[in-house]
Amino acid sequence: MCAIVGIFGNDNAARLASVSLFAMQHRGQEATGISSSCDGKIYTKKDRGLVSEVFNEEALAYLKGNMAIGHNRYATAGSDSVLDAQPVYAKYKLGEISIVHNGNLINKDEVRKDLIDKGAIFQTGMDTENLIHLIAKNTKDSLRDRIIEALTRTIGAYCFIVQSRSKQFAIRDRYGIRPLSLGKLKSGGYIVASETCAFDLVGAEFIRDVKPGEMLIFSESEEPESVQLFEPEFRPCAFEYVYFARPDSVIDGKNVYTTRENMGKALARNDANSKIKYDMVVPVPDSGVPAALGYSAESGIPFKYGIIRNHYVGRTFIEPTQEMRNLKVRMKLSPMGSLIKGKSLLVIDDSIVRGTTSKRIVKMLKEAGAKEVHFRVASPEIKFPCFYGIDTPTKEELISTRMTKDEVCKFIEADSLEYLSIEDLVNAIGNDRHYALESFDGDYFVKA
């Protein structure tokens, strides 16, 4: 669920790329990087840390040129945040190349083994590097043809941006699992980015979403060239709407804030006949806020910020270790004791993955004086690992595969617990299309 961006045809390309990555910091906080291209040479800067820490004035001055690609890292493959930071850069027969990738390649091990057997030497643990080797080992005369042939051996969820010394290629897999949008910069040139929230910050006008199976080629031509590589089988990721995307983004024509508000309204309708009396609706900030507002609007129960978030602490779910996740929960969330003391709370969160965060939140609220904590989740039970870009690699990590709803309720020490049904989730996003719901229903529609 990383963030990627490409800027083409603008003299402030690297700076605009860094601002775009800043807008998409929520998609990855382990490492960040940018490659720019100028006078036939590619310049790359990447490091551990946040965008604001890595890209100071000295770094941006180094990244010369009117085209740049960038990446925020959220680890699903690979390990070390420096060695496995992106962009991935290489020199090969046709010159220099740099690649950024959002997604996860499910046939990565098979392809990597074959490449190693044929003499390839890998520098990282990332599936992204597979594409570099597939391109470099190809004998076609153009980078365009090499990319197309490499993609025939690339299976999974992916949005790639490939940068040469003079061109950019933006590609989205045939399922459109991960989001990618195209915009026109008011100061000149084009932008492609994982989320439209990046467009607002850099002053870009949204043109359209990159189509599933499409490759856009940016060159000296005025308009980007579109090549439909694969027949679309559109299945956008439902988890983008549940958790990952920023609420002010529009993902494949759906406003994220509105979909989350709809999820909360559906929870309220399901609770309409409940005999439990709640004093207030309390969101788990920040991703639970729109759903809580929807619940409050539908039910008439007052919305209150019973939990305050420290915004200088990052997102817990995308921390690489459980120890770090536990620490971040304690650091970032604080209960409003004077507001919730003696009250019955209806607490809304976007999801329950491992259960540890929910347990700490319930305990924290009760220790602060809440009389009852009733937990509502604005998504279905997560019962299956995702292999398309979410860091839930084993069933053992998912509490709903090991426990029933009542057992989860007991584990997190809530007074009651309810989830959204898959049907309600789909209706909340919009039932005009099929979605990638493998975390909820186990339908692994992409086959290796």
Residue 217 tokens read as 């080629």
DSSP structure class, residue 303: B
Q: Is 47 annotated as a binding residue?
A: no
DSSP structure class, residue 240: I
Task: Using DSSP, state whether 146 is helix, strand or coil.
Answer: helix
Find the angle CA(170)-CA(173)-CA(175) to the nearest 5 degrees: 140
Per the document, the length of the chain is 448
* DSSP class per residue in 47-84: EES-HHHH--HHHHHHS-SSEEEEEEE--SS-S-TTTT
Q: How far is CA 308 from the centre of its chain?
A: 24
pTM of the model: 0.91
Residue 234 tokens read as 């559109």
Report CA torsion sign: 81, 134, 236, 106: negative
d(CA 116, CA 373): 54
Cis amide bond preceding 286, omega within 30: yes
Q: Is 181 annotated as a binding residue?
A: no
Q: Over the stretch 69-125, which tens digit does the pLDDT of each residue have?
A: 999 998 654 455 577 799 999 999 999 999 999 998 989 889 999 999 988 888 888
d(CA 52, CA 30): 13
Task: Using DSSP, state whether 134 is helix, strand or coil.
Answer: helix
Nearest to 316 by CA among 249, 204, 391: 391
Instruction: State the DSSP H helix or E strand holding residue 270, giving kind and residue range, or none if neither.
Output: helix 256-270
Instruction: Spell out the residues 6+ positions from residue 248 whose beta carbon is closer than 8 angstroms to its own.
Output: 197, 200, 256, 257
CA distances from 393 to 166, 264, 325, 383 (A): 38, 28, 16, 12
Domains of the chain: 3-234 (3.60.20.10), 258-441 (3.40.50.2020)
Q: Is residue 237 flagged as an active site residue?
A: no
The catalytically annotated residue of 2, 159, 197, 409 is 2
Nearest to 183 by CA among 7, 445, 62, 14: 7
Residue 378 has, within 13 A of its CA and on its CB side, a CA count of 36
Sheet architecture: strand order including 31-38: 41-48, 31-38, 67-73, 3-8, 190-193, 181-185, 204-209
Instruction: State the DSSP H helix or E strand holding residue 96, giving kind and residue range, or none if neither.
Output: strand 95-105
Question: What are the pLDDT tens digits along the chain (448 aa)?
Answer: 799 999 999 999 999 999 999 999 999 999 999 999 999 999 999 999 999 999 999 999 999 999 999 999 986 544 555 777 999 999 999 999 999 999 989 898 899 999 999 888 888 888 889 999 999 999 999 999 999 999 999 999 999 999 999 999 999 999 999 999 999 999 999 999 999 999 999 999 999 999 999 999 999 877 999 999 999 999 999 999 999 999 999 999 999 999 999 999 999 999 999 989 999 999 999 889 999 999 999 999 999 999 998 876 655 555 556 566 556 666 778 999 999 999 999 999 999 999 988 999 999 999 999 999 999 999 999 999 888 866 665 788 899 999 999 999 999 999 999 999 999 999 999 999 999 999 999 999 887 6
DSSP structure class, residue 368: T
Is the distance from CB of 222 to CB of 203 less than 8 angstroms? no
d(CA 6, CA 388): 22
Q: Is 127 annotated as a binding residue?
A: no
Task: Give me the residues paired with residue 206 across strands.
Answer: 183
